[in-house]
Amino acid sequence: MDEFRLDWERVGRCGTSEAVLCEPKSVAQIDAIVAHAVELDRRLLLTRLGPRKLDRLSSASREALDYDAPTRTAILGGLPAQTAAGRVAIVCGGTSDIRVAGEALRTLAFEGEAATLLADVGVAGLWRLTERVPEIRSHRVVIAVAGMEGALFSVLGGLVPCAVIAVPTSVGYGVSEGGRTALNAALASCASGLAVVNIDNGFGAAHAALRILGAMRLPGVTTAAD
């Protein structure tokens, strides 16, 4: 237990649970963390766990984890009851962005928040987006996921009043390789009020959405229902 200290109090302090970023951790470290959480009977979300690293985990770890290959996420301890859908929409610019969108979806599910996924609504065929605007507008938070030049963020931001969280992805080549172009496009958008997270950070986008939804539950908020 020397090499890690899990922050179980985070959910109370910040409204979201600690998760384990697996990519830079060794197999031994991940095994130890999983074993520790199992021992404490805690639920845990693991992100960026590649299939090869999964295969090298102990069989105890592998059996305990609910692994989803396309999103490279694993969940220990199962999912809680989900809210009724309708609060969060995840809108994807392209087919290639679905893996990042899926990370957001799984992270939300881990915290009990259902979400709607709308795939392949990129702006090169603008009709794919505009025909779904009414559906998107019915959500409180929209997570927009796009790579390449990230034009989706601006178009979407100009069409909906929702809180919009932009997730640039590393999809692209040449000048868009690595995701900096999409990231900068989100940050410099002419559609104001977009909130941006790190490249490929579906996990962080989900947590930002949860912070927003959590803020709504605080006492004293005046809503339309009052």
The interface with a copy of itself within residues 197-216 (CB under 8 A) comprises 197-201, 203-204, 206-208, 210-212, 214-216
Candidates 35-43, 51-59, 73-81, 91-99 — which segment interacts with a copy of itself by CB under 8 A?
A: 91-99
Residue 81 amino acid letter: A
In sequence order, what are the beta bridge partners of 146?
168
Q: Is 7 in the site for a copy of itself (CB under 8 A)?
A: yes
Q: Decide whether 64 or 98 has the Cβ nearer to a copy of itself.
A: 98
Which residue is listed with tokens 């309708």? Answer: 86
Q: How far apart are the first and last CA of the chain?
A: 50
H or E segment at 75?
A: strand 73-76
Q: Residues 6 or more apart from 9 whose CB is under 8 A from it?
A: none
The nearest distance, CB 61 to a copy of itself, in angstroms, is: 15
Fill in the per-residue mask, 13 to 42: x = in contact with a copy of itself (CB under 8 A), - = not in contact: xxxx-xx-x-xxxx--x---x---------
Q: Is 158 in the site for a copy of itself (CB under 8 A)?
A: yes
The nearest distance, CB 108 to a copy of itself, in angstroms, is: 12
> Considering only residues 4, 50, 79, 82, which one is a binding residue for a copy of itself as defined by CB under 8 A?
4
Task: Classify strands 19-21 and 44-47 as parallel, antiparallel or unpaired.
Answer: parallel
The nearest distance, CB 28 to a copy of itself, in angstroms, is: 8
In sequence order, what are the beta bridge partners of 46?
20, 74
Q: Tell me the CA distances in angstroms from 65 to 18, 49, 81, 184, one per residue in order.
A: 16, 11, 18, 36
